[in-house]
Structure 1
Amino acid sequence: MSAGRPVKKLPEETIVVSSEPTSELYKQIALQSGASVHRLRITKGSDGALVPNDTGMLVQTTGLRQQSTIYVKDLGPQIRWRTVFLVEYLGPILIHPAFYSFFTKNGEGASYTQTLTLILVVTHFLKRELETLFIHRFSASTMPTSNIFKNSAHYWLLSGVNMAFWIYRQSFYGKSGPSPIVTSLGLALFVLGELGNLSTHLTLRGLRSSGGKERGIPQGLGFDWVTCPNYMFEVVAWLGVALVSLNWSTVLFAIVATGQMGVWAKKKEARYRKEFGGTYKRKRYAILPGIW
């Protein structure tokens, strides 16, 4: 039986051994229906709970039994999460140099502040691209293709076009900028934030094997302070960029990004508490120590 968008050639029944992983159930239905396994979503008929496509979860642990009813949904065209990340972060990398070149006549009329801001923004997103290629491991393989436009808008428009337009206009800075003390402080925060963020990502990578979906309790730099120190260090880095640029568009992006990361961090804290129970040391703050 199918819930939502119907799956073509969906079999009326399928057989898997209860001691097999749930990923085998997905493989069997994909094979019989001719659909991509990444497009399928399976839920239990009894309570609507998701049956995850997981090599580490057994069918019997989901509560499915002989002659249990399941619902299968076609999620539509899918795209890999890694690809989504690469496309998202590419926006600012292309947009900032383009606006910088256009407004400052290939840099000849750029102020020190504008040039330094360009370097920091491009460095930040190049780091993200490299982490996506070589560090990040994803628990979910794909997402709906249509979501890439919504996800990319945050980076291409808010941290791309909006920031670049207001920062690189010659009339905004002329040859002036923030004081050397403010600039130095901004640079220090940026470096601290980027290195701390990288350290956290390396820690999270070590919790999961290549291609695996297992989870572990992260420990190390920042994890005693907040649930998601990678987000905390991200905020620190963008505070640094804001101090260097002294531009409202940078502050706006930092506020919006902090709000979104805070929501994600709260959800992760709830998931940690549910998944690990008493073995997990509960955090009072999700993203910013003493604040949130």
Structure 2
Amino acid sequence: MASQKIVLEIKSRGKPIRKLPKSISVDRDASAASLYAAISQQAQFSLHRLRITKASDGTLIKNTKDTVIESTGLRNQSVIYVKDLGPQVAWRTVYFVEYLGPLIMHPLLLYVLRPYIYRSPTPLPAPSDLQRFTCLLLVLHFVKREIETVFVHRFSLATMPASYIIRNSAHYWILGGANLAYWVFAPGSPTARSKANPILLYSGIALFVFGQLANLNAHLTLRNLRKEGDTTRKIPSGFGFNLVTCPNYLFEVIAWLGVYLVSSLNWSVLLFIVVGSATMMRWASQKERRYRREFGDKYKRKRYVMLPGLW
């Protein structure tokens, strides 16, 4: 039996889209993704800049193959709003730019800009071995993040507004880059001492290595939940996932605590950890609520979403 066609009335919301059609005919059992594609083709406009909502209640029609148009409540002669989200940038690009800042800043400040930044009436001492080693850990961390961005991470959304790239990069470029580098590599920093505290150094290295490897394992687990292009959500399991909702965030914090110990408890590293943890705690709570909403009884509720015993 042939699919029944319905006609949807289209209205523009916000900035006008010049060639946006007044209406469109679609199969009622077609996917929401096909609706986006059809409007994009007729309007000759980027698919990723479109946002479609129901005029009746403002509900977002997500651009996904898993949603059938009829299931959204749209019927023949229903009205939909189409909005131009503005210039977009790929999520992968956003992540790459975020981590590129601190990746460049740390070795640049330590090995090139240090004599020009720290003014001193006496000759500036050379970087200590501990400062060089701390820089190495920071570079390794952000190199890992860049590799994961290119080869590991999969994104449920293809793009985000281009203007957000500055906002999202501020945390890493300012707190994790310029601020952290300035205080860790300063001549008066605890890392400038000639001999490191062996307890802090070796325990920090252990936490850093464990945190990085466990974090990578969690990211690989999340990646393997779905194939490329698949937006179907699944419940993750494995090392760490039975303990907290987001072990990738937990292991990220552990790795940075390792950097904090290696840096001889430098306050700028601690500040970066606190601010980053607060953000990840909010994300973890949102993900826990989403798991409960989407999977219901199939999902085993976690007592802690990120930090065992605390959060």
2:289 paired with 1:270: yes
Find the structure with the greater CA-based Rg: 2
2:167 paired with 1:156: no
2:245 is paired with a residue of what secondary structure?
Answer: coil
Q: TM-score, normalised by structure 2?
A: 0.90
1:97-122 per-residue CA deviation (whole Å, 9 max, x = no partner) reads 011113279x9811122111101111
2:177 paired with 1:131: no
Partner of 2:245: 227
1:171 is paired with a residue of what secondary structure?
Answer: coil
Partner of 2:131: 114
Q: CA RMSD in A?
A: 1.5
Q: 1:52 to 1:177 in 2, by over 3 A?
A: farther
Judge conservation of contact 1:186–1:240 (CA < 8 Å) in 2. Answer: yes
Judge conservation of contact 1:104–1:170 (CA < 8 Å) in 2. Answer: no
1:159-205 per-residue CA deviation (whole Å, 9 max, x = no partner) reads 00000011111232443354111110011001111011000001000
1:184-227 per-residue CA deviation (whole Å, 9 max, x = no partner) reads 00110011110110000010001111122111000001111111
Selected match of 1:176 from 182, 189, 194: 194
Judge conservation of contact 1:103–1:170 (CA < 8 Å) in 2. Answer: no
1:240-273 per-residue CA deviation (whole Å, 9 max, x = no partner) reads 1011112100000000000000001111111111
Give the aligned residue type for 1:226: V
Give the aligned residue type for 1:35: F
Selected match of 2:103 from 93, 100, 104: 93
Selected match of 2:217 from 186, 192, 199: 199
Judge conservation of contact 2:19–2:43 (CA < 8 Å) in 1. Answer: yes
Selected match of 1:52 from 62, 75, 82: 62
Measure the CA separation in 2 of the matches of 1:37 and 1:56.
Answer: 17
Measure the CA separation in 2 of the matches of 1:15 and 1:289.
Answer: 52
Partner of 1:69: 79
Give the aligned residue type for 1:152: S
Partner of 1:250: 269
Aligned residue pairs total 291
Give the aligned residue type for 1:261: M
Judge conservation of contact 2:125–2:187 (CA < 8 Å) in 1. Answer: no
Judge conservation of contact 2:154–2:228 (CA < 8 Å) in 1. Answer: yes
Q: 1:177 to 1:277 in 2, by over 3 A?
A: farther
Q: What displacement does 1:60 show? A: 1.6
Q: 1:4 to 1:284 in 2, by over 3 A?
A: farther
Measure the CA separation in 2 of the matches of 1:26 and 1:177.
Answer: 62
Unaligned runs of 5+ in 2: 1-10, 117-123
Q: 1:177 to 1:59 in 2, by over 3 A?
A: farther
Judge conservation of contact 1:38–1:142 (CA < 8 Å) in 2. Answer: yes
Measure the CA separation in 2 of the matches of 1:111 and 1:16.
Answer: 67
Judge conservation of contact 1:104–1:169 (CA < 8 Å) in 2. Answer: no
Partner of 1:15: 25
2:26 is paired with a residue of what secondary structure?
Answer: coil
Unaligned runs of 5+ in 1: none
Measure the CA separation in 2 of the matches of 1:138 and 1:259.
Answer: 22
Measure the CA separation in 2 of the matches of 1:103 and 1:68.
Answer: 64
Give the aligned residue type for 2:250: M
1:12-51 per-residue CA deviation (whole Å, 9 max, x = no partner) reads 1111112111111001111111110000000111211110
Q: TM-score, normalised by structure 1?
A: 0.96
Partner of 2:183: 166
Q: What displacement does 1:6 show? A: 2.4
2:189 is paired with a residue of what secondary structure?
Answer: helix
Measure the CA separation in 2 of the matches of 1:177 and 1:212.
Answer: 52
Selected match of 1:103 from 94, 114, 120: 114
Judge conservation of contact 2:94–2:165 (CA < 8 Å) in 1. Answer: yes
Measure the CA separation in 1 of the matches of 2:237 and 2:225.
Answer: 10
User: Matched residues, percent identical?
Assistant: 53
Measure the CA separation in 2 of the matches of 1:177 and 1:217.
Answer: 47
Judge conservation of contact 1:51–1:62 (CA < 8 Å) in 2. Answer: yes
